Structure 1
Amino acid sequence: MHLPALNLPDLFIPLWRGSFDCDPSDSTDLGSWPWAVLKNLSVWKQHGLLVAQATPYIPGSFDRPPRNPAEKISSGYKAWEFLLYFFGLGPALFYGLLPDEYWMHYCKCVQGFRILMQEEILPSEVADAHALLTQFSDDFELKYVQRRADRLHMVRPSIHTTSHFAPETVRVGPGIIYSQWGMERTIGNLGEEIKQHSNAFANLAQRGIRRCQVNALKAMIPDIEPPENLLPHGATDLGGGYALLRVMNTASRDVRLCEHRAIVAYLEDNDCSLEMEREFEGPGKSSDFTECKVDGSSYIAEVLFYMLLHINDDIPPKAVAMVSLYGPPHPGILAASSNTYWTAQHLRDSAIRVIDVNTIKSVVMMAPDERYKTRFHDSTEVDRWYLMEKPGLKLTERAGLEELLSEE
């Protein structure tokens, strides 16, 4: 938790701002420190504004969005905010701002930790992360320290520790299962349960014992506590961790021509006669950005609305979503960024599809990409968006209905 969320941002952001302690024999001007791109106050404020402008596009299930670092980074900036800022938004927002070699160096760090923050990691992924983080650690001395004795203080333990993170993952497991997130939450919960303030520590110990006893009983007898019904009134349980919440338009409306064509194509693909009786219940909640499967391939899409599709009385209504797909990511940028900067055009009405709700894999963030246009002026910069996934996305796939409810 502390290494990626606090130690590394605490090293790199002062370096990029030119506020890092500098030896008298060194200089923080761009000629000597080409990475100090945020030293100019107006550039730093503009960068912070881009971070703040991404907030409306960050799903509620991502927890606390990062605040404007130019205004709040020294005012109780949370570890989770640093994580979303540095490892989520950063590859896109630092593109074209940091010199290319320093940006690519930073992206190796981001991708390495993105892999290792998963709950389930394949051996090949661990090997990839180890290669990225080892190269990141070695290149830091070449690119920043440059074998200068007066910059030796830049090489903090956090730089060397990154090269050991992947082997330690093999030895003790993914970091997300033993990080301090869970420990600090437990400490907070137990602290809330203290009722005997005259002997607080004894009371805390007893609450901890009681918690362990309850957990042991639940582990031995899983059915001892009936599962809670997490769905609010009026929601439709679709099974498999999916549900439609009771959020609907207050008035019916005609579908647009592109939406009509998508519905007809969906019915034809599912061997439904166009003469069958068809009704649409909905549309429901809209404007989610999701990763979904279409024709066996993964796409990023904006959900325009959800609906229950009634084909006839003999077939149960099908929960489907009307989505608008994004185009493919820029291959050159994706490769240069070690697969961390995913930027694509929104295809809007030219790529409308109807998909089954259970093909939606996760909720992601898509925000307008203002950095792409600083390098490209070939008409592909129009209506361009960049992707951010929640750290530890494989873990969040298990959130199921809780993720839906957090959006409500």
Structure 2
Amino acid sequence: MLLNMWQWVVLTGKFWERHGAEVESFRHYLPGDFDNPPQNPAKKINSHYKAQEYLTYIFGYLPGLLYNILPLPYWQHFCKLVCGIRIILQRTISTKELEMAHQLLLEYCVEFEVLYVQRKASRLHFVYQSIHNVIHLAPDTSQSGPLSIMSQWTIEHVIGYLGALIQQPSNLYKNLSEQGLRQAQINALLAMTDLCPEITELPHGAIPLGNSYVLKHPQDPKATMMSTAEV
């Protein structure tokens, strides 16, 4: 009964299942550098969803997927969050962009209580601390720099990479330290001298973007039968 009173509850039943299938189908169109494309949220969101999947799903897919599905006031409110967070996650941010992000996130925070809580004490549990946390993102960026370059993505990747190199489980931490030291020495050599060979040929379908960046075409990990439409 309560769900019928909440106008924002739109992804239920068959709509939720169809939404999940759409999200899963998008993984074939993501660039290769998206190492964790979102899985079907209808099946995996409560158990196997990674942080990177949430970022792509919420701040990449949902604005388009919820258009004309979520009632307009709620959709516009959600888009303020998406726009503000996208700016905050940039590696370079102008003062004007940062001011706009701060304004959008302030409006999102205030309007969340108006739209969802509606000043009702019975709905106070809707307001998680993370809702109010967004109003600090822009000031923290102004003080410390872009927050994306201080995230844990880099160190998590390094830990995973070094862990895969361990060959002596009987002396785990000593081996991990040696692998870290060796990688640091290699990085230092590559930084001091021009030891990296230049890539003269690009993979099939790749597009040069300049500044040593290349957009690669997505590839299937294994051979599959082509559909009639593809043929």
Class of the TM-score when normalised by the shorter of the 2 chains:
0.7 to 0.9
Separation in 1 of the partners of 2:90 and 2:113? Answer: 28
Cα displacement (A) at 1:82: 1.6
Counterpart residue number, 2:91: 119
TM-score for the superposition, normalised by structure 2: 0.83
Which one has a larger percent helix, Structure 1 or Structure 2? Answer: 2
Counterpart residue number, 1:91: 63
Separation in 1 of the partners of 2:17 and 2:123? Answer: 27
Residues 1:228 and 2:197 aligned together:
yes
One-letter amino acid of the structure 1 residue matched with residue 57 of structure 2: Y
Separation in 1 of the partners of 2:149 and 2:211? Answer: 14
Separation in 1 of the partners of 2:134 and 2:107? Answer: 10
Counterpart residue number, 2:43: 71
Separation in 1 of the partners of 2:62 and 2:115? Answer: 19
User: Following superposition of structure 1 onto structure 2, how do residues 300-379 of structure 1 map, counting pairs within 5 Å?
Assistant: none
Which one has a larger percent strand, Structure 1 or Structure 2? Answer: 1
> Deviation string for 1:58-107 (max 9, x for gaps)?
33343333222122323412222222211111111101111111111110
Cα displacement (A) at 1:117: 1.2
Separation in 2 of the partners of 1:45 and 1:407? Answer: 26
CA RMSD of aligned residues (A): 2.6
One-letter amino acid of the structure 1 residue matched with residue 145 of structure 2: G
One-letter amino acid of the structure 1 residue matched with residue 10 of structure 2: V
Unmatched segments (≥5 aa) in structure 2: 221-231
Q: Helix, strand or coil for the counterpart of 2:20? A: helix
One-letter amino acid of the structure 1 residue matched with residue 134 of structure 2: T
> Deviation string for 1:181-210 (max 9, x for gaps)?
111001111212323322212332333334
Cα displacement (A) at 1:155: 1.3
| Residues 398/88 of structure 1: CA separation in 2 closer, same or farther (3 Å cut) | farther
Mean CA deviation greater in 187-196 or 168-177 = 187-196
Residues 1:59 and 2:31 aligned together:
yes
User: Following superposition of structure 1 onto structure 2, how do residues 152-171 of structure 1 map, counting pairs within 5 Å?
Assistant: 152-171=124-143
Unmatched segments (≥5 aa) in structure 1: 1-26, 236-242, 248-284, 289-356, 362-396
> Deviation string for 1:352-393 (max 9, x for gaps)?
xxxxx87xx6xxxxxxxxxxxxxxxxxxxxxxxxxxxxxxxx
Counterpart residue number, 2:213: 400
Q: Which of the two has higher C-alpha Rg?
A: 1
TM-score for the superposition, normalised by structure 1: 0.49
Separation in 1 of the partners of 2:122 and 2:19? Answer: 29
- Structure 1 runs of 4+ aligned residues shifted over 6 Å read none
Mean CA deviation greater in 107-116 or 76-85 = 76-85
Identity of aligned residues (%): 42
What is the number of residues matched between the two proteins? 220
Separation in 2 of the partners of 1:189 and 1:53? Answer: 29
Separation in 2 of the partners of 1:191 and 1:166? Answer: 35
One-letter amino acid of the structure 1 residue matched with residue 139 of structure 2: P
Separation in 2 of the partners of 1:203 and 1:145? Answer: 53
Q: Helix, strand or coil for the counterpart of 1:30? A: helix
User: Following superposition of structure 1 onto structure 2, how do residues 267-278 of structure 1 map, counting pairs within 5 Å?
Assistant: none
Counterpart residue number, 1:374: none
Separation in 1 of the partners of 2:155 and 2:138? Answer: 22
Separation in 2 of the partners of 1:230 and 1:406? Answer: 19
